Chains A and B, each alone.
Chain A
């Protein structure tokens, strides 16, 4: 059987090339990325899993194997980590829930605006993108002082126009969430806007023209031409934004320090505290895996959601 197939092959192709396949060339081209991927993603992930199975403190010689204990601790309510961990997951959840819709909608509006033809368009494009080039530390320092409840400019200006001027923006909820989400939207909307803008410029002008000829108004053109045209971009932006929001750390670490109490301490913040400040690396690794699994499930859900729309 096999010989017959082989014979047939040799008949169809020049001799000598049949069994060779693609050879090493693809691997050579893949190698640079593959090496980085294995070295900086796969290997640490495997090592992290190994750590999560141990009572791991790198400064101590003994790192006893504890099996799945570190995971069990996260799901048993009498462990000291339980409430802190799930509170931090809740904080991450709240932040993601409020920041993602805004980070999808506001940049889209900005992108639509920037896609118009008007004088100084390039300047405005730069202005909206500008905050994104700042590091999280710069952004957080800036806003921490602006938002300070007693000495900050924001309250100062609110007072000047007759609004309440004693809102504790950084250490009471929900004001702290408003600050964190607001600052994050201000900071990162430029990135999403640029991607939307690229997507908008890919939509053929003829589609708009024919829609207009058919008598579609602005809203109908947006809904029936722009949105479907942006769908692939939208799915990418949604996924990336969810993951970025779920990984929020710097803003709450630097602006609120988790205040009030530990309400704005996000999952990544708590994992950092546990692993790098308290040296409970086994626990921290286990938490990372729980967070990862949660994110994977969420990503699958988003993927499925967008796929569903395509078929309907």
Chain B
């Protein structure tokens, strides 16, 4: 759900998604202009309004709020923002939804120009990068006043929000890769429960084959193939990057094993070759095949397609359970701190949404707070199986610039191995060497800043 959301966004919003590049300029101009216009309107409204809201006591203020919820998660966020504004009439939230892929390009630029968000949501693996760039500011005081405690979160989600001893993100949710399966096709082939390990996965593939579904497990060649790879790498006991952020280690034996398994799915004929971007997603929604790996944020989208589907934790192909995951965090920008009222209002907003994270589970996510996660409503939701195994989720380490490095190296290696252009071992070795070089350069760059 990170960089390449644009590819998944495409199928969700076919036209909107792809017109992104051309529209980017327009949208940027529009939101820049729109924001200042609404600021002016907010300023005008400030005079007559004197009512106190109880939580925020300053003059009426307009906050620019950026997020990337373009999928089935979008309507939930819009609804929550509207409820917030009803309860806090002095704070107007001007929301701007940008696809994640463009989000991380535009947000730092906009903040630098003073036309960015005051408050927003970003992924856990982007926090360190943006903290190093000084786009976002520490929110330790907010975490304290929210009563956030480490014991209420999984360790990695909690620690990823910390960069150089300061907290930059307030966790909202956790979302992971999962296995979606078509219930009708399972029944037809006599597979009575979703596969949980390599043996049962392979057995299921054979059963589907004999039931007339020749290609039951389509292997993407672009996003989210690298999320599958990372999951399997962790399952084999590997780590993609060294803890100190100076070296790429995804070419380990664990990595080669993981990527070989993925390439074999294609080589053994269980998947068509050379799938186009998002083809496997569209095909699953069109009931072309039964076993589909994707993020849980697609739940609502898949639900809308009418496929009779179930969801489970991804099968354990390696020697321990693990799945790639990411987490949405709230942040406050440097821009907001230039105005005390805005900074204050931003905190009120984050506080309010954070407490409603159970409602946010409706968007297909797993709440970050243990206390919310263990409610019956979440346990019985579609994503319940993921919530139950939260300790098996793995996150990318908080290394500044790692997302960019990954897009240039790891993603390429995975794609090349699946399309058969290079052997898994060769691809990983070359790209890991390059990644190490880039990480070394990043270390110097961000260290000096």
Residue ID in chain B nearest A274 by CB atoms: B408
B197-212 interface mask toward A, CB cutoff 8 Å, 1 = contact, 0 = none?
Answer: 0000000000000000
- Docked Cα-Cα span, A312 to B438, in Å, equals 54
CB distance from A168 to the nearest CB of B (A): 4
A-contact bits for B93-115, CB 8 A (1 contact / 0 none):
00000000000010011001000
A140 to B23, CA, bound (A): 13
Partner of A59, one of B14, B20, B108: B108
Contact across chains for B21 and A253 when beta carbons are under 8 A apart: yes
What chain B residues lie within 8 Å of A80 (beta carbons)?
Answer: 434, 437-438, 441
Proximity bits, B426-449, A CB within 8 Å = 1, else 0: 000000001001100100011011
Cβ-defined contact, A151 with B279, below 8 A: yes
- Which stretch in B62-70, B150-158, B174-182, B413-421 binds the other chain? B413-421
Minimum Cβ distance to chain B for residue A58 (Å): 6
List residues 152-191 of chain A with CB under 8 A from any CB of chain B.
166, 168, 170-172
Say whether B21 contacts A171, CB under 8 Å: no
Contacts of B434 in A (CB 8 A): 80
Residue B134 is within 8 A (CB to CB) of chain A in the complex: yes
How many residue pairs link A and B with beta carbons under 8 A? The number is 110
- Does B128 sit at the interface, judged by CB under 8 A? no
Which residues on the A side are within 8 Å of B14 (C-beta)? 141, 145
Residues of the B chain whose Cβ atoms lie less than 8 Å from the Cβ of A136: 21-22
Q: Does A19 contact B (CB under 8 A)?
A: no
Which residues on the A side are within 8 Å of B108 (C-beta)? 59, 279
Interface string of B52-77 (1 = CB under 8 A from A): 00000000000000000000000000
Q: Mark B145-177, 1 if CB is under 8 A from A, else 0.
A: 000000000000000000000000000000000
Contacting pair B274 A57 (CB below 8 A): no
Q: Secondary structure of the B side of the interface? A: helix
CB-CB under 8 A from A149, the residues of chain B are 272, 274-276, 279
Beyond A59-B133, A145-B14, A150-B276, is A259–B407 a contact (Cβ under 8 Å)?
Answer: no
A36 at interface by CB-CB < 8 Å: no
Contacts of B21 in A (CB 8 A): 136-137, 250, 253-254
Tell me, yes or no, whether A125 is within 8 Å of chain B by CB.
no
Q: Is A262 an interface residue (CB 8 A)?
A: yes
Question: Quick one: CB contact mask for A49-72 with B, threshold 8 Å, 1 for yes?
Answer: 000000101111110100000000
Query: Would you call A259 and B221 a contact (CB within 8 A)?
Result: yes
Let me know if A137 and B272 touch, CB within 8 A.
Answer: no
Residue interface mask B122-155, A partner, CB < 8 A = 1: 0000000000111100000000000000000000
Among B222, B407, B449, point to the contact of A61 (Cβ < 8 A): B449
B247 contacts A by Cβ under 8 Å: no
Q: How many residues of A contact B (CB 8 A)?
A: 40
- Asked whether any CB of chain B lies closer than 8 Å to the CB of A21, the reply is no
Which residue of A has the minimal Cβ distance to B440?
A80
Q: How many Å lie between the Cα of A124 and that of B19 in the bound state?
A: 28
- Answer yes or no: B18 CB below 8 A from chain A CBs: yes
Cβ-defined contact, A60 with B133, below 8 A: yes
Given contacts A62-B449, A148-B279, A257-B7, contact A168 B274 (CB under 8 A): yes
The answer on a CB contact under 8 Å between B421 and A260 is: yes
Q: Does the CB pair A137–B276 fall under 8 Å?
A: no
Is B40 at the interface (CB under 8 A from chain A)? no
With contacts A59-B108, A137-B22, A149-B275 taken as known, whether A260 is within 8 angstroms of B133 at the C-beta atoms is: no
Cα distance A59–B400 when bound, in Å? 13
User: Roughly how many angstroms separate A279 CA and B129 CA in the complex, as a whole number?
Assistant: 11
Task: Determine how close the nearest CB of chain B comes to the CB of A147; give it in whole angstroms.
Answer: 8
B272 contacts A144, C-beta separation under 8 Å: no
The closest CB in chain A to the CB of B277 belongs to A257
Known A60-B449, A261-B412: A137·B23 in contact at CB below 8 Å: yes
Asked if B15 is at the interface (CB within 8 A of a chain A CB), the reply is: yes
Q: Which residue of A lies closest to B22 (CB)?
A: A137
CB <8 Å contact, A278 and B404: yes
Provide the bound-state CA to CA distance between A149 and B274, in Å: 8
Measured CA separation A135–B18 after assembly (Å): 12
Given contacts A137-B18, A149-B276, contact A257 B222 (CB under 8 A): yes
Which residues of chain A are near B379, meaning CB under 8 Å?
A: none
In the complex, residue of chain A having the shortest beta-carbon distance to the beta carbon of B215:
A150
Complex Cα gap A5–B401 (Å): 70
3 tightest A-B contacts by CB?
A137-B22, A137-B19, A59-B133
6 contacts between A and B (CB under 8 A): A59-B133, A62-B448, A137-B20, A150-B275, A259-B277, A278-B404
